[in-house]
Structure 1
Amino acid sequence: MQLTLIVPELVWPEPDDRQTLDAVAAPGLSALLARSRRTRRPPQSLEATLADAFGQPAGAPYGAFRLLGETLAAQLAVEDACWVCADPVHLRFHQERIILADSGSIGVELAEAQALAGELNRYFGDVGTFHVASADRWYLQLAGTTRLDEFDVPPLSAVAGRRVERQLPETAQTGWLRKLLNEAQMVMHGHAVNAERQASGRPPINSLWLWGAGALPPRGESAQDGRFANVFDGVWSAQPLALGLARAACIPTHTVPRNLESLLEHAAPDTHHLVVLDNLLGPVHYEDGDAYAAALNTLETHWFAPLRKALARGKVTRLRLEASTAYALLAWDSGRADQWKLWQRPQPLAALAHDLAQGER
């Protein structure tokens, strides 16, 4: 079996944080990386990394693809509209700058999301319809034949916890959308949901992050006309975007297996599978070193240590491990023979983080 493994935020982004890095015991991962061929590209988001895996270009319609991976998609005509991710956020001023916090840091509840989206739909029904797939993933379905081309806005994951210069591109085409966003912020500000949140000491849900605009390619033009790299026999992920990309490419999707052993039990020897392990994403985004160390140690036990042995024994014939990190987009490629190069000595993750911070390949 060939395996492509995507593990976003694999390397802790603070190379001098020895407390976090020293709490990680991952000899299997260290040996696996040391005996693989590493390539390094400029940093990019997990969303862009997933799109790359399916041969999708920059500016792919992330909203439509992500929606296709939601349970909600079964109730909607996803192919017939232009979709925008409209994820709930909290904006605040800090030292004359605007800082964005996503739902993971402010704790949006599903009932709150549904109430706010319902109010937005009462105000903006002529523009489009807001749909709530989960507390933290909302969508705006644009009315009629409205389309948004050249919509250059980074995914929410790339800006959460950071200062933002602007929420939408300054183009004539998005002028009406900027107006909608300003009015939506006023509607959300005055809603009872936010009055209750502020009364209980919680930050208000006072804005939306609009990104990933676009429409799906027509059904039948995805997997058959070269727009997709249909190289996987199965995709295993909890990420709706990964599931949606797979479904658009007519690739079977599955829930994430508990460990490598479970994957090997279900995957035929002559197949190629994509597994997305996003356990480290939240701890890194919310700067929780203890949670990062605990999650990585779990991945070591269930995946990395078994993978090194499975490669050496030929149960996994080829491995590509990809990690979007603060340092770079990193990829390690390995085969059976590589794991027998015992002279290539493993290095601790702390040393790897330091090397990456110094820009060493």
Structure 2
Amino acid sequence: MSDDLNLDVYFPQFAKFLLASNNCTAFSKLSTIGAWQRDTEYALEASLCRQFEVQKQADWPLAPIMLLGESHIQATGYWLLVHPVNFVLQRDFFSLGESLHLSPSEAASLLADFNHHFAEDGLRFVPSQSGHWWYLHIDAHVEVSTYLLAESLGRDVGKHLPNGKQGMQFQALLNEVQMLLHDHAVNAAREQQGLPVMNSLWLSGGGSFQAMHHAAKPPAFNLFANDMLSAGLASFTGITPQDLPSHYQSFCDKKRQGDAVVVLNEVQTHAVEKLEADWFAPLLQALKRKEIDTLRCHFDVHGMTFTLTVKSTDTWRFWRWKFWQKAASVTSYFQLADA
């Protein structure tokens, strides 16, 4: 590998790693010797869009980008991401629970009812390939801003509803959805099985294909990923994504010349011990051997992006100047905003 490799690694849903990170020696050392930056304005998905020089519309246009990842494009109209969710009653407000994973039959039943009910309003709900989220197509000009799911989880729903010129119209749409869901057969069956009911939808990541403008030239890096957002970004910018490596050595085996971006999937991020052994420990060794010149790790924690930048020269500076400094706890580097 080139000795001037710049490597960006994205870690989705990293908060779950932090909750179980008891023995992460390599990550602790990387955290101690590197430089930290917290970006409260951009969730990880937005940071990835910026990596590819995608311009923000009223929202970061995740819906059209992910549709591109599914090889689907419709030039007209406006698209939004739709996640089935459960609002949780707190003492004096509702908070957003995690997105629900519905069975294929549950999703099919709900989508059919939504499409029948809202057909006269020019709304069309479309399933994704994975089934974990849907898309909403509106064949009209839309002026609304939304909050990404990651930015809103666990937080007060009332402070994260759609806003902008047509914000109230979309809030009314959600109210109507909630009434449809109240006595729905799918929820009745879920309740009997002890499963959380779907009591609302979360709309986010809106945009239109015609408002997306390509960068002057394709990105000057290789992409290793298997998620739909990365696939869409690759399609939009004209590059071909490589298979996602399961660990750093696999990345080395697949690595081509030039810089690289690796987007780990959620399963990898949740595997705490494997993440330390498969990524953080070998990344630290690669920096010491100067196989990597600059490493940037981007962590998704409660809808914010924390970036750790480590240069190969930081490893010897650590041993010369910081040999006396004890590594702080992993969680101390993540100053979390209030929910």
Q: TM-score range by the shorter chain?
A: 0.7 to 0.9
1:56 corresponds, among 54, 57, 70, to 54
Instruction: Give the C-alpha shift of residue 60 in structure 1.
Output: 2.2
Partner Cα separation in structure 2 for residue 327 and residue 85 of structure 1? 16
Partner Cα separation in structure 1 for residue 186 and residue 227 of structure 2? 28
Change (3 A) 1:232 1:239: farther
- Contact 1:233–1:252 (CA under 8 A) maintained in structure 2: no
Name the % identity: 26
Match of 2:176 in 1: 183
Amino acid at match of 2:125: F
- Contact 1:167–1:209 (CA under 8 A) maintained in structure 2: no
- Contact 2:93–2:156 (CA under 8 A) maintained in structure 1: yes
Partner Cα separation in structure 2 for residue 152 and residue 56 of structure 1? 17
Q: Does 2:98 correspond to 1:102?
A: yes
Q: What is the TM-score normalised by the length of structure 2? A: 0.83
Instruction: Give the C-alpha shift of residue 358 in structure 1.
Output: 9.6
Partner Cα separation in structure 2 for residue 218 and residue 357 of structure 1? 36
Q: Does 2:250 correspond to 1:271?
A: no
Q: After superposing the two structures, state which structure 1 stretch, 180-189 or 167-176, moved more.
A: 167-176
Partner Cα separation in structure 2 for residue 167 and residue 334 of structure 1? 34
- Contact 1:231–1:272 (CA under 8 A) maintained in structure 2: no
Match of 1:201 in 2: 194
Partner Cα separation in structure 2 for residue 355 and residue 265 of structure 1? 32
Amino acid at match of 1:236: F
- Contact 2:43–2:303 (CA under 8 A) maintained in structure 1: no
Q: Number of paired residues?
A: 326
Match of 1:3 in 2: 7
Instruction: Give the C-alpha shift of residue 356 in structure 1.
Output: 4.6
- Contact 2:38–2:305 (CA under 8 A) maintained in structure 1: yes
Instruction: Give the C-alpha shift of residue 67 in structure 1.
Output: 2.4
Partner Cα separation in structure 2 for residue 175 and residue 91 of structure 1? 19
Instruction: Give the C-alpha shift of residue 91 in structure 1.
Output: 2.0
Match of 1:325 in 2: 301
Amino acid at match of 1:245: L
Q: Does 2:40 correspond to 1:42?
A: yes
Q: How do residues 208-227 of structure 1 correspond to structure 2 at under 5 angstroms?
A: 208-217=201-210, 221-224=213-216
Instruction: Give the C-alpha shift of residue 196 in structure 1.
Output: 1.0
Runs of 5+ unmatched residues, structure 2: none
Instruction: Give the C-alpha shift of residue 9 in structure 1.
Output: 5.1
Partner Cα separation in structure 2 for residue 11 and residue 176 of structure 1? 34
Match of 1:289 in 2: none
- Contact 1:233–1:251 (CA under 8 A) maintained in structure 2: no
Q: How do residues 16-31 of structure 1 correspond to structure 2 at under 5 angstroms?
A: 20-21=20-21, 23=22, 25-31=23-29
Match of 1:123 in 2: 117
Q: Does 2:76 correspond to 1:80?
A: yes
Partner Cα separation in structure 2 for residue 195 and residue 77 of structure 1? 36
Partner Cα separation in structure 2 for residue 354 and residue 33 of structure 1? 10
Partner Cα separation in structure 1 for residue 291 and residue 333 of structure 2? 31
Instruction: Give the C-alpha shift of residue 83 in structure 1.
Output: 0.5
Match of 1:287 in 2: none
- Contact 2:224–2:243 (CA under 8 A) maintained in structure 1: yes
Instruction: Give the C-alpha shift of residue 258 in structure 1.
Output: 0.7
Match of 1:336 in 2: 312
Change (3 A) 1:232 1:137: farther
- Contact 1:36–1:334 (CA under 8 A) maintained in structure 2: yes
- Contact 2:151–2:303 (CA under 8 A) maintained in structure 1: no
Change (3 A) 1:356 1:185: closer
- Contact 2:245–2:251 (CA under 8 A) maintained in structure 1: yes
Instruction: Give the C-alpha shift of residue 195 in structure 1.
Output: 1.6
SS of aligned partner of 2:310: strand
Match of 1:301 in 2: 277
2:240 corresponds, among 252, 260, 274, to 252
SS of aligned partner of 2:283: helix
Instruction: Give the C-alpha shift of residue 322 in structure 1.
Output: 1.8
Residue by residue over 1:70-98, the C-alpha shift from the partner in whole angstroms, topping out at 9 and shown as x without a partner, is: xxx33x33443310111111124332311
- Contact 1:10–1:280 (CA under 8 A) maintained in structure 2: no
Amino acid at match of 1:267: K
2:142 corresponds, among 148, 158, 162, to 148
Instruction: Give the C-alpha shift of residue 259 in structure 1.
Output: 0.8
Q: Does 2:307 correspond to 1:313?
A: no
Instruction: Give the C-alpha shift of residue 135 in structure 1.
Output: 3.3
Q: What is the TM-score normalised by the length of structure 1? A: 0.79
Instruction: Give the C-alpha shift of residue 209 in structure 1.
Output: 0.5
Change (3 A) 1:300 1:78: farther
Measured on the aligned residues, the alpha-carbon RMSD in Å equals: 3.0
Change (3 A) 1:137 1:232: farther
Partner Cα separation in structure 2 for residue 12 and residue 199 of structure 1? 29
Q: Does 2:127 correspond to 1:132?
A: yes
Match of 2:161 in 1: 168
Change (3 A) 1:147 1:254: farther
Partner Cα separation in structure 1 for residue 224 and residue 295 of structure 2? 15
